Every structure is written in C-alpha cells, then in structure tokens.
Structure 1
Amino acid sequence: MFIMRPATGDDVSGVASMITARCEWMERHGLESWREDVDDLAGQAGRGFMWVLEAEGRIVGCTTVMTQALPQDWTAEEAAEPSLYLFTTATDPAYREHRPGTLIGLWAVGRAARQGRRWVRQGCYFPELVKYYKTQGFALVKEQDRNAERLYLLARRAERLDLTPLGLANHPHE
C-alpha cells in the first residue's frame, strides 16, 4: 500500500537516495539525468512544497506542488484559474511495475478537485514524458522555447478519484 504525505526535513536523505536511483536508471538507458542536482532537489523536502510517495516506510517517489504558476509558463488568464502545479516529480525505478509516477499524477488530480481547483498543470522537456503524461489524462496545452530547449506544458482538469484500487491509501493530510 502506498501513501502520499508532505515531505519533511527528515526525508532529505530518503529523497536523495530515491533520486540517485532514478539517475542511475536514466544513465543506464542513455538519458540525461539530474545527478548534479540531487542535493538541491532532495533539499526541497524540508521547504514545505514537496510531497513524497511512500511504500512500507520507503520513499518511492516525490513531487513538488505549488499553487501559483511560473509567469513565463502560463498566461495571466491561465494563472488566474485555481490550479496545482507539479514540478520535479521523480520515482524509484525499482517500483516501476506499480506505476508510482501515475499514482502521483492522479493523486494531484484528486487533491486539486478536493481543494476546489480546476486544473493540474506541469511541464517537461522531453517528448517521451509528454507521451507518458498523456497516458495519465494530461493534454499538451502548448510548447515554448526555453534556453535552447523545448518546454512542453500540459494540463488535466481536476476531478475526484478513488485511488484505493491502485494501492494508494487515504492519508490524514488529504
């Protein structure tokens, strides 16, 4: 059984281990990784915006959740719509068969609905991730050029979901 809960400063080392495992998997598959950013990314656990996905006391995923858009990503009209924004989602490849990234994405969709928000939005730099996020019901909204890279911005309408059949338990913070 999985739970999503707010990260704390005590989670920094667990988040770092999980992100390092993801980096190793990415590098073995010839993909660019975040290895040089592991400490910075894991350090977000103690800043109040990160949530972790936990299984049997082990951190198997994380995402940073914000309630305000980055102004360079979304128009003023889009940013005015109540939304959750996901950043730096990472999962442990050892749990891949359980689809932890999908659990995190769908958890955010349900959380946004419970908070009265309309959307969950996120961005990525890889077309392969766009395809993956589409399997979770996200739609590509627009593309932007950013620092010689292509940024893909996606959104999914918030809705209440029952994730217990997928193994995600309700948590008191929900």
Structure 2
Amino acid sequence: MRPATAADSPALEAMILARSSWLEHRGMPSWRASAQDLAGQAENTDGSMWLLVADSPERIVGCTTIQQQTPPWGWTEQELAEPADYLYSTITDPADREHRPGTIIALWAVDRAAREGKHWVRRGCMFPGLVRYYETQGFKLFHEVQRTRNRIYLMGRRAETIEELPQLFNVG
C-alpha cells in the first residue's frame, strides 16, 4: 500500500471503469458516472487516498480513502468520541478477485489504525450484499440510517495488529 499521487489518476480511472463494467454486467450500480472524480481524489495532497499496487510492473489493484474522522451522522456521541479511521471509496480491480484485494485493503486499514493508536475502523455502504461481504472481513453492522433517498449501513471493526498481513500482500 502506498499513498496515491496525481500521476496515478489515469491508471486509477481505468481500474474504476473496469470495476464499473464488472458491476454493470451483473446488473449492479457502478461508479462509471463518477470515475473521473473518484480518480481525481489521488490528487489530494493530504494523502488520504491509498493504493494497493502489484509489482513488476507496478499496477493499481485497488484503492481506498481514509478519513481521520467518522462522519457525524448515524453514530452516537460515545462512538464519535473514540479514535477511528473511516474508509470510503474502496474499489478493486475485478481481474484480481482471486487475491481478495478488498480484504487485503481492509485488513491493512485495521492494522494501520491500531499502529496509529486508533480504536476502530469504520465504513458505510448502501447495499446489503456489501454488508455481508464486509462482515467476512470482520466488520460488524452497528447502525442503519436513512439518508435522503438511500439507506446507509454503518459498520465498524476494532483496530488490531494483523500479524499475517505481510503474507497477504502477494497480489498479482
């Protein structure tokens, strides 16, 4: 994992469009309309977007964005008081599904949060299928919130060091 840079935007957009095609082929909503904007997050100088890359030659396998604060809606005051990272815009290349890049990214985030003294890693999603998938990564559903037209499922996992993480990084 490494921070994204502005130079990553074109390859990142191509990866997002590949995932969008994969989703659309299965009748699911995609990021196609916002692919350029999402890839543009790589240009943020705050280093909030991270990339999972494969070596030889380097190519983007996945991305996630980490906020240092949990969005305030949907969480209790007590939950918001606990140090946490918040993941969003986690997208992976469907060509690498067999390596489980989404799980690698999630476990890396859990480990990173623990090493930085955070108590939690949180995330939200809009689809029950993603809730089930994130549960396989050790996340627990905490809240369901109705936001305008969308129901948001808010999830969390305690931060902890992941000893087997180095072995998981044999992607691509």
- Shorter-chain TM-score range: over 0.9
2:75 is paired with a residue of what secondary structure?
Answer: coil
- The match for 1:40 is 37
**Is the CA contact 2:124–2:152 (under 8 Å) kept in the aligned structure 1?**
yes
Unaligned residue ranges in structure 1 (runs of 5+) = 170-174
**Is the CA contact 1:5–1:51 (under 8 Å) kept in the aligned structure 2?**
yes
In structure 2, C-alpha distance between the alignment counterparts of 1:140 and 1:44, rounded to whole Å: 27
Which stretch shows the higher mean deviation, 68-77 or 33-42? 68-77
Which stretch shows the higher mean deviation, 44-53 or 119-128? 44-53
- The match for 1:98 is 99
Higher RCO, 1 vs 2 (CA within 8 Å, ≥6 residues apart): 1
- The match for 2:2 is 5
In structure 2, C-alpha distance between the alignment counterparts of 1:40 and 1:80, rounded to whole Å: 31
2:28 is paired with a residue of what secondary structure?
Answer: coil
Pairwise CA distance, 1:8: 0.7
**Is the CA contact 1:103–1:168 (under 8 Å) kept in the aligned structure 2?**
no
- The match for 1:16 is 13
In structure 2, C-alpha distance between the alignment counterparts of 1:53 and 1:167, rounded to whole Å: 9
- The match for 1:166 is 168
Percent of aligned positions that are identical: 56
Q: Please tell me the residue identity of whatever aligns with 2:134.
A: Y
Question: Normalising by structure 1, what TM-score?
Answer: 0.92
Q: 1:60 to 1:70 in 2, by over 3 A?
A: same
Question: Normalising by structure 2, what TM-score?
Answer: 0.93
- The match for 2:65 is 64
1:37-74 Cα distance to aligned partner (Å, 9 max, x none): 00110000111210000002000100000111112232
Runs of 4+ in structure 1 off by over 6 angstroms are: none
Aligned Cα RMSD in Å?
A: 1.2
In structure 2, C-alpha distance between the alignment counterparts of 1:131 and 1:107, rounded to whole Å: 19
Q: Please tell me the residue identity of whatever aligns with 1:105.
A: A
In structure 2, C-alpha distance between the alignment counterparts of 1:134 and 1:29, rounded to whole Å: 21
Pairwise CA distance, 1:168: 5.5
Q: 1:159 to 1:168 in 2, by over 3 A?
A: farther
1:142-166 Cα distance to aligned partner (Å, 9 max, x none): 1001122210000000000121222
2:86 is paired with a residue of what secondary structure?
Answer: strand
1:27 aligns with 2:24: yes
**Is the CA contact 1:53–1:104 (under 8 Å) kept in the aligned structure 2?**
yes
Q: Please tell me the residue identity of whatever aligns with 1:102.
A: T
In structure 1, C-alpha distance between the alignment counterparts of 2:69 and 2:142, rounded to whole Å: 17
1:156 is paired with a residue of what secondary structure?
Answer: strand
In structure 1, C-alpha distance between the alignment counterparts of 2:6 and 2:168, rounded to whole Å: 28
In structure 1, C-alpha distance between the alignment counterparts of 2:170 and 2:85, rounded to whole Å: 19
Count of residue pairs the alignment pairs up: 166
1:117 is paired with a residue of what secondary structure?
Answer: coil
